[in-house]
């Protein structure tokens, strides 16, 4: 599985996650888990609805979510942040 990062994801990761080392490490662990087993129940991987119906999301921690899109065998990470920031 090939992972790509949207410019929106990179910007928000630097702004919302990178400064918090604990969240940064948690993101790395969850991304590895996502790559190995995208349907692992820990990730709470789910489809989105409404204006983001073509996207999916998985949990990094209690309130931190990663929004992504499947593109021909690739994964585009689109956004990251709290529930209220990304939805």
Query: What whole-number distance in Å separates Cα of residue 32 and Cα of residue 70?
Result: 17
Tell me: the pLDDT tens digits for 25-51? 999 999 999 999 999 999 999 999 999
pTM over 0.85: yes
The alpha carbon dihedral of 60, 61, 62, 63 has a sign of negative
pLDDT at 22: 95
Taken in order of first residue, the domains within the chain and their CATH numbers are 2-86 (3.30.2310.20)
Give residue 87's pLDDT band: very low, low, confident or very high (50, 70, 90): confident
Per-residue 3-state assignment (H helix, E strand, C coil) for 36-69? HCCCCHHHCCEECCHHHCCCEEEECCCCEEEEEE
């Amino acid at each position: 599985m090939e992972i790509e990062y949207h410019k929106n994801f990179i910007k928000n990761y630097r702004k919302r996650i990178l400064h918090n080392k604990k969240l940064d490490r948690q993101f790395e662990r969850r991304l590895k888990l996502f790559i190995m087993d995208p349907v692992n129940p820990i990730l709470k991987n789910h489809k989105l609805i409404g204006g983001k119906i073509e996207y999916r999301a998985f949990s990094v921690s209690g309130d931190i979510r990663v929004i992504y899109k499947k593109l021909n065998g690739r994964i585009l990470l689109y956004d990251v942040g709290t529930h209220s920031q990304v939805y």
